[in-house]
Amino acid sequence: MKLRALLTTGAVALGLLGTAAAPSAVADQPSPGQLRVTVGPARSQVTGLAAGPASNATCTINKITVNRFSECEWVTIHVDVIKVINGRPVIEGTVDFDVKHQMTLKTNSANWSEKFHVSKARTTRAGKGVAANIAAASGGGTKASVHFSQGHILSSGAADGSVGYKTSIPPKKINPKAKTKYTYTFTKPGYTPGTVSYNSAAYRCDNYYGSSRTSRAGCAIPEVPTAVSMVGLARIDEGIRKLRARGGHYGDPNGGKPLHWMINKRQEDANRKAVCPRSAPPDMKRAGRTSCDEYPFASSYEGGTHLHANQREITWVKVQENKSQGGRITAWRGQMHVMDHDPFYVIA
């Protein structure tokens, strides 16, 4: 019987979502043409609270590390070069290398780029001569295009590439969340090609504040909490700090649970009516503090009476202070691209 050979690939401890079958679903002894691919458990890490656009996320091996506007993804990949002899797989050589992705989104554009670096491979025996092609695909209205010297021989040295992203999004719209799917195809003469895939962190683009004249499109990583500051708004700041002193922890960046923004005007109005009386008490009126400020914000999913009474507070403030708060929140949302269900904290 004429022997057939194949190239099998395995991704070791990717810390990412792979597209191959789970190890339990793969036969212990693959027949010719099968791939044996293992993908490690997903591990992601948020590098910090985003009070403003941050610098690039730092890189950690076998992790996806993200902040509000960037991610670093550092992946290790293992390739076994296998020949099937008398129905049994025999490893003829191996290839080990890593890939480091650095993606930086833009707050003022829905088009951006990503750089990646492929290390020189460590090979044994028949692992020399294995080549790699790299593809990338996105969704949510974003198209990805790879720039890389395809057919790169992994043992020949390191190589750099990039991914360009272009997003179509009309004014007043929020695109669905999307991820980049990276797919590697490994080839070597005389062997059946092998493939492996993994994903980036989720990102989302919007042009929510845009108009027919001006685009305000931008993109962010929505799982990363951002923060809005109430410092300097004397009564509002004071009310939040008093609540926290009594044990209210929602929205507290110092160990509390995040709040979640809500885009639902009808529910926002209902939340406010549920906790704010129609008029201020007499003493507040005499002090000129006739505007009810509720915390958590009525425009959050935790607003109104959704939390227990010991986790919420109202403060009577002057109308101008409430207007200043509204302007501050609007500016923060636009800069940080905060949309429905996004987590956030309140600095007070």
Residue 53 within any structural domain of the chain:
yes
**Which pLDDT value is given to residue 12?**
31
Domain range holding 39? 4-206
**pLDDT given at position 59:** 85
Summarised one tens digit per residue, pLDDT across range 214-242 is: 999 999 999 999 999 999 999 999 999 99
Pairing of strands 259-260, 343-347: antiparallel
- Mean pLDDT for 21-50 is 41
Q: What is the pLDDT of residue 52?
A: 52
Q: Which of the given ranges, 29-38, 81-90, 258-267, has the highest pLDDT on average?
A: 258-267
Domain termination residue (choose one: 152, 178, 206):
206
Q: What are phi and psi of 264, to 5 degrees?
A: -165, 95
Shared domain for 187 and 246, answered yes or no, is no
> Is pLDDT above 60 for 79?
yes
Indicate whether 189 and 82 sit together in one domain: yes
Cβ-based burial of 177 (10 A; exposed 0-12, middle 13-18, buried ≥19) = middle
| pLDDT over 70 percentage in the chain | 84
- The total number of structural domains that make up the chain: 2
Is residue 108 very low, low, confident or very high in pLDDT (cuts 50, 70, 90)?
very high
pTM of the model: 0.85
The C-alpha R_g of the chain, in whole angstroms, comes to 26
Q: Does some domain include residue 145? A: yes
Q: Is there a single domain that holds both residue 335 and residue 276?
A: yes
Instruction: Give the integer Cα–Cα distance in Å for 93 and 189.
Output: 14
Residue 20 scores a pLDDT above 60: no
SS3 for the chain is CCCEEEEEEECCCCCCCECCCCHHHCCCCCCCCCCCCCCCCCCEEECCCECCCCCCCCCCCCCEEEECCEEEEEEEEEEEEEEEECCEEEEEEEEEEEEEEEEECCCCCCCEEEEEEECCCEEEECCCCCEEEEEEECCCCEEEEEECCCCEEHHHCCEEEEEEEEECCCCCCECCCECCEEEEEEECCCCECEEEEEECCCEEEECCCCCCCCCCCEEECCCCCEEEECCCCHHHHHHHHHHHHCCCCCCCCCCCCCEEECCCHHHHHHHHHHHCCCCCCHHHHHCCCCEEEEECCCCECCCCCCCCHHHCEEEEECHHHHHHHHHHHHHHHHHHCCCCCCEEEEEC
Does 284 have pLDDT greater than 80?
A: yes
pLDDT > 60? residue 183: yes
Percent of the chain exceeding pLDDT 90 equals 72
The last residue of one of the domains, among 150, 178, 206, is: 206
Do residues 178 and 306 share a domain?
Answer: no
* Residue 85 shares a structural domain with residue 24: yes
Among the ranges given (9-23, 43-57, 251-265), the one the predictor scored with the smallest mean pLDDT: 9-23
